[in-house]
Amino acid sequence: MKDWDALYEECIHCQKCGLAETRTNVVFGEGARDAEVMFIGEGPGEQEDRTGRPFVGRAGQLLDDMLAMIDLKREKVFIGNMVKCRPPQNRDPLNIEQEACIGYLRNQVALLKPKIIVCLGRIAAMKLIKEDFKITREHGQWIEKAGVWMMAMYHPSALLRDPRKRPESFEDLKSLQAKIREVCVRTY
Q: What is the mean pLDDT of the chain?
A: 96
Distance CA 126, CA 128 (A): 6
Q: Which domains does the chain have, with CATH numbers?
A: 2-181 (3.40.470.10)
Tens digits of residue pLDDT in 109-129 = 999 999 999 999 999 999 999
Reported as a single tens digit per residue, the pLDDT across 3-12 is 999 999 999 9
pLDDT value at position 186? 74
> b/e string for 109-123 if b means 16 or more Cβ within 10 A?
bebbebbbbbbbbbb
Cβ density class 91-105: b for 16+ within 10 Å, e for less: ebbeeebbebbeebb
Q: Average of pLDDT values for 35-58?
A: 96
Q: What is the per-residue pLDDT across 73-96, written as a single tens digit (0 to 9) for each?
A: 999 999 999 999 999 998 999 999
Q: Stretch 1-29: mean pLDDT, rounded? A: 97
